[in-house]
A and B are shown apart, each in its own frame.
Chain A
């Protein structure tokens, strides 16, 4: 411990002003984050979110390079350093200069937003674990493999990829996490032998080959791993006992479909018998095969890339999948009966009791969701109501935001206010401990009297993560034309 502290003290003495500057930047970012009452960060906050990890990475690299592991001229190499203590000192430096300020800032943000940081400690520590996985560990390994800061900076894009894989970027949606977490987990596990090779024996050549192979393998894993397979890992991990069926429903005459550009879009309504009525779910991954009687077969992943809560949410046990086939493909298959089969992975949320809030400052919807709203006057005797929610439970909590119109006696989800920044899916800035939602409702002024405002018009239904599930489906003798009429 004596040597560990000596090395740490030396590194801190050398880098004190950089540590201070990074801590100050973290505090400024924390202030911006705590004050923000909108889902999207403003440009300065967004830039700081990208700049601060860069500063942290360079801090770690400088500390590692005080006892550079590449080369044969470093003074420390002929001194009786013990490699576990050297590694421990550098890890401790990263903990003190990166993780401690980050944790303190996160706790302060939560406290400022009305959450109890102690109760949110598991989430805060999980975020630090992801930060370590995505930034600290890769930065330490990268710094251990290069001989100077210039070479390290060239490798920075790799760190942005690993950090994005670990923490996500903007969206806190479960599917990217399933694939990316698998890849970043692989990188983190492989980083350990690379670090050991370098710190223990300075086997730079071998360590570089191993590190490059690991990144390549992780990239291939993230690119090639089937969404269903990686999602299956989530299902196993969650151990939720959710086993609904998935059946194709008759065509919905109100559905929007038809020819758009080079594709023919077909609306396929699905039902989920067995999914409790009080539950809602996000469709996270769908794999679909369409085969015609004439032997034509297509494989399609319509929601693999562009899914959103509004599009893929299973509500009241039903959802709609939009199938986009090229005109050539559609014409080849439309005249015969087809079989539609596949699998879907989805995240199931339990609906909690609806909470009604007045227009105004933050109110507690639940222990893990706070919402506020703000009435904005429009230019033409109209207005909009911005409803904003946040939660420290990344991906584990959602909120269904609606407003109650007393004059009509109905709850409504739209229309969105013109030019508003609605974000019904939760957004997470890289370094923020909070995920946020925002909905803006267009309000004809005549409907919004003082009485109505006093009537708690904001209706929030908190959704709590119940688990993950996959289901297979198959529908035979389907005439696709019926779904495109």
Chain B
């Protein structure tokens, strides 16, 4: 299976800012790949580098089989890009904007566009600058989906939108998969957890992890061990147990490699355990645990 988007040791440095450090990731074909991380993590820089809006300082990125530095009209005709901070020709009406975009795509489907316009209830006669933020994103998305792109790149497209609009937009993007692959940057973890097939976490330009969502949520568990009597933490806990804490008779930690032998391992470390509870963690909690463990003095053990 070929990858529509791949980064190999990608570095991007701006004057006084190292935006990306050795970013290596691969988006599988047909995947909904979410790049998550806090504001300023380097998500937008990564996307702009993939789309040749920025040149990499070192390393490389491949988009639809082509080096990002040589990305041209042939590849851009197969990429749908929607960003929250893109400058649109505000003077154009939504209808004119869509008609104008049509001229550049040989695979443009007017039927698809009509369906999207109906679905989004786009007011075609209103100028883009007079549309609400939600409507502007809808217009952008309609103009990026009507030619059935092979790769859909979304940079924080849904932030600030109400739940219904967000669901509507997510729905229409997911309809394009698996024929199209989706690469999405977001800082809203709850939002992407429901539909991303793959998740990568970027913080201060460094990739913490990149894997399938199911595998990620399967390997993380919030563990709570209730002891018979208060006791300290045993020495030499596994490094995959993050943020261990003791509160009275309860010991809590995040197991980042929870598997078949996990219960036995915990029992061997806590022979006096009265009860062991392993709770499934939402993505938000997983990321919080990772961030907490990465802080100086609280490193993973």
Q: What residues of chain A have their CB less than 8 Å away from a CB belonging to chain B? A: 2-3, 6, 10, 13-14, 66, 68, 71-75, 77-82
Contacts and interface: CB of A to CB of B under 8 A. Distances in A.
Nearest to B153: A78
A56 B79 CA distance: 36
20 contacts: A2-B103, A10-B92, A71-B87, A72-B48, A72-B53, A72-B54, A73-B85, A73-B86, A73-B87, A74-B86, A75-B87, A75-B89, A77-B51, A78-B76, A79-B104, A80-B72, A80-B73, A80-B104, A81-B73, A81-B76
B101 interface: yes
Nearest to A66: B89
Contacts of B104: 3, 6, 79-81
Interface in B48-77: 48, 51, 53-54, 72-74, 76-77
Given A75-B89, A78-B51, A79-B101, 10 more contacts: A6-B100, A10-B92, A14-B91, A73-B86, A75-B87, A77-B53, A78-B76, A78-B81, A79-B76, A80-B72
A73 B85 CA distance: 7
A10 B97 CA distance: 10
B215 interface: no
Nearest to B140: A75
B253 interface: no
Interface residues of B, number: 26
A14 B127 CA distance: 12
Contacts of A80: 72-74, 76-77, 104-105
Interface in B243-281: none
Given A6-B103, A72-B48, A78 B91 contact: no
B53 A10 contact: no
A380 B133 CA distance: 79
A16 to B, nearest CB: 12
A74 B85 CA distance: 9
A71 B74 CA distance: 22
Contact of A82 (B48, B54, B73, B92): B73
Nearest to B101: A79
Nearest to A73: B87
Nearest to B86: A75
B141 to A, nearest CB: 13
A80 B79 CA distance: 9
Nearest to A14: B91
Contacts of B48: 72
Contacts, number: 50
A2 B76 CA distance: 18
B218 interface: no
A81 B53 CA distance: 14
B100 A10 contact: yes
B103 A78 contact: no
A238 to B, nearest CB: 47
Interface string B165-194: 000000000000000000000000000000
B88 interface: yes
A4 to B, nearest CB: 10
Given A3-B103, A72-B48, A78 B89 contact: no
A79 to B, nearest CB: 5
Max chain A CB contacts within 10 Å: which of B53, B72, B88, B91? B53
A74 B92 CA distance: 14
Contacts of B91: 14
B102 to A, nearest CB: 9
B69 to A, nearest CB: 10
Contacts of A3: 103-104
A82 to B, nearest CB: 5
Max chain B CB contacts within 10 Å: which of A68, A73, A77, A80? A80
Contacts of B101: 79
A91 B51 CA distance: 27
Contacts of B103: 2-3, 6
A6 B92 CA distance: 14
B177 to A, nearest CB: 20
A3 B72 CA distance: 15
A71 B105 CA distance: 24
B79 A78 contact: yes
B17 to A, nearest CB: 15
Contacts of A77: 51, 53
Contacts of A74: 86-87
Contacts of B74: 80
A13 B97 CA distance: 12
A75 B73 contact: no
Contacts of A2: 103
Contacts of B96: 13
Max chain B CB contacts within 10 Å: which of A10, A13, A81? A10
